[in-house]
Structure 1
Amino acid sequence: MDTKFWGPSGWKMLHLISFVRAHPTPTEIADLRCFFSTLPYVLPCKFCRKSLSEYIVEFPLESTLNESYALAKWLWKIHNCVNSKLREQKLLKESDPPFASVKSLYTAKFAAGCTRTNFEGWEFLFSIIENHPYSKQSLSGIPINGGPEKISADDHLELNRWNRLPKEIRQKYWEQFWTCLPKVLPYREWREVWGVCQTDWTSRKAAMKSLWGIRCSMESSLQLLNKTDFHSLCKQLRQHRSGCAKSSRARTCRKKRFRQRIP
């Protein structure tokens, strides 16, 4: 999926989650660890999964969950790493914002409340659904070039890094992501609505139905502003399929845009 479509949505949701719990309880730490440790396996771009698999080794998640705003600082560092890579590819010109500015932005967003507002993250979450481990898009994917010839079957992160993780193992991480997500959502009201909805993450079709049901429930009960209809959503997702699953040499998932020739 095109990173320009789901990337901003994902960053907004993840940053908001990371700032809400400045001093997490042991239970919250376990939920946050569960959620963020699954991210490298579910991102809807194999090159993004590779990068995060590397960053999570360079910046271990375990060291970020016990200090004030440590998780938020960890995510900010990783976001800066992504930005640096985009600048190398001439895909980004802006400099990285200081942590204090990011903190001010997201603490203000949280304080604004959870009703009559936008739910940041729908594009990100539905793009993850589009890349269900058993979807045609995922099953047609090929490994990334440059990896080692042999990787231990137990080294899931390294297999994931080179897009060689078996689909049944990726599915376990994928379902773990959806199990952990409602527990770490920033607002109690969001968690409550999500918690009463029936879900099935075993296939792309079932997962799409589940997430759409959750979205409809949240839009109705919390008067969310960023509403859409199912037909428009599906059209939007089709328009932003990038085809990166079949590429072995690219560095990010961007949908090619062709300029129309003027006769």
Structure 2
Amino acid sequence: MDTRFWGPSGWRLLHSITFGYIPRTDKKAVRDMFEMLPFVLPCKFCRASLSEYMEKDPLEPALASRDSLTRWLWRIHNEVNAKLRSQKLNVVPDPSFEKVASLYKDILSSGCSQTDFPGWDFLFSIAELHPLSKSAKASVAIPGGPPCEDLKTREEKNRWNCLSPEERLPLYRRFWTSLGNTLPFPEWRKSWHKNAAGYSLNSRKAVIRWLWKLRCRMESHLNLLNRCKYSSLCKTLKTHRSGCTKSIKARTCRKKRNKEL
């Protein structure tokens, strides 16, 4: 999936989660969600990079407080930006932590913010690249690594895109199971749990249908503003497929765009 489609949505949701974090009640769910994140991102290069960044800058110490967790994700975000710059991609200068903190504190303190759920593009992209989907099954290892059969841990396999669909599926399920308890507003958590019952995570089609029904119910329950039609969603997801899963030459999951005349 094209990172320009789901990346901004994902960052807004993840930063909001960290600035709403309460260690006493949220630590287990937030730990589970972030630990699973490197295994579910809808881009094999992003999964590999996040695995590397989280090895260098571990999550566990950051879970001690809201301040440490927000600063941890800010550092991770800056690492991603540095990687994009190394690929000669246009990235704005890294904002100071104080600027990021001011932005998200304002968002979380504004009642109007609760009507704009920021993560749908991100979450539907994860749903689209289900471990048992055709795209995921056709995914090839990242070039330059050791033979997949020589890799022992799931982290090593993830770094080189060598996890099998069957190995990735339990991690995918764990991500979705933990997500509801990480959301930054109590109203969102309550609505998520109220409306998420009866889901199946066994296939791409099932997850997209479940997530769509959940979105519609949350929109009605919370009067959310950022609505769309199911047909538009499916068209959008198809439009932003990048094809990077099968590429042995690509360095990014950004979809190539035709040059303008």
Alignment TM class, shorter chain as reference: over 0.9
Q: 1:24 corresponds to which residue? A: 23
Q: 1:152 to 1:35 in 2, by over 3 A?
A: farther
Deviations 1:76-134 (A, max 9, x none): 00100000111111212411000011011011111113676211000000000110000
Q: After TM superposition, give the deviation of residue 221 of structure 1 in Å.
A: 1.0
State the one-letter code of the partner of 1:28: D
Distance 1:176 1:114 in 2: 31
Deviations 1:138-173 (A, max 9, x none): 011100001123566640011011010011110000
Q: 1:84 to 1:260 in 2, by over 3 A?
A: closer
State the one-letter code of the partner of 2:98: A
Q: 1:77 corresponds to which residue? A: 75
Greater helix share, 1 or 2? Answer: 2
Q: 2:161 corresponds to which residue? A: 163
Q: Please give the root-mean-square deviation of Cα atoms over the aligned residues, in Å.
A: 1.5
Deviations 1:19-60 (A, max 9, x none): 112x511x4211111110000000000000010010110001
Matches within 5 A, 1:43-192: 43-113=41-111, 117-149=115-147, 154-192=152-190
- Contact 2:107 2:113 (8 Å CA) reproduced: no
Choose 150-159 or 189-198, whichever is displaced more: 150-159
Distance 1:69 1:130 in 2: 33
TM-score computed with the length of structure 1 as normaliser: 0.94
Between the aligned residues of both structures, percent identity stands at 51
Q: 2:12 corresponds to which residue? A: 12
Kindly report structure 1 stretches of 4+ aligned residues shifted beyond 2 Å. 113-117, 149-154
Distance 2:111 2:170 in 1: 33
TM-score computed with the length of structure 2 as normaliser: 0.95
Q: 1:91 to 1:153 in 2, by over 3 A?
A: closer
Give the secondary-structure state (helix, strand or coil) at the position aligned to 1:69. Answer: helix
Q: 1:252 to 1:182 in 2, by over 3 A?
A: same
Contiguous gaps of at least 5 residues in structure 2: none
Distance 2:27 2:114 in 1: 29
- Contact 2:157 2:163 (8 Å CA) reproduced: yes
- Contact 2:148 2:162 (8 Å CA) reproduced: no
Choose 131-140 or 249-258, whichever is displaced more: 249-258
Distance 1:20 1:156 in 2: 30
Q: 1:239 corresponds to which residue? A: 239
- Contact 2:131 2:169 (8 Å CA) reproduced: yes
Contiguous gaps of at least 5 residues in structure 1: none
Q: 1:55 to 1:223 in 2, by over 3 A?
A: same
Q: Is 1:37 aligned to residue 35 of structure 2?
A: yes
Distance 2:77 2:217 in 1: 31
Q: After TM superposition, give the deviation of residue 236 of structure 1 in Å.
A: 0.4
- Contact 1:182 1:191 (8 Å CA) reproduced: yes
Aligned length: 259
Q: 1:177 to 1:116 in 2, by over 3 A?
A: closer
Distance 1:214 1:115 in 2: 19
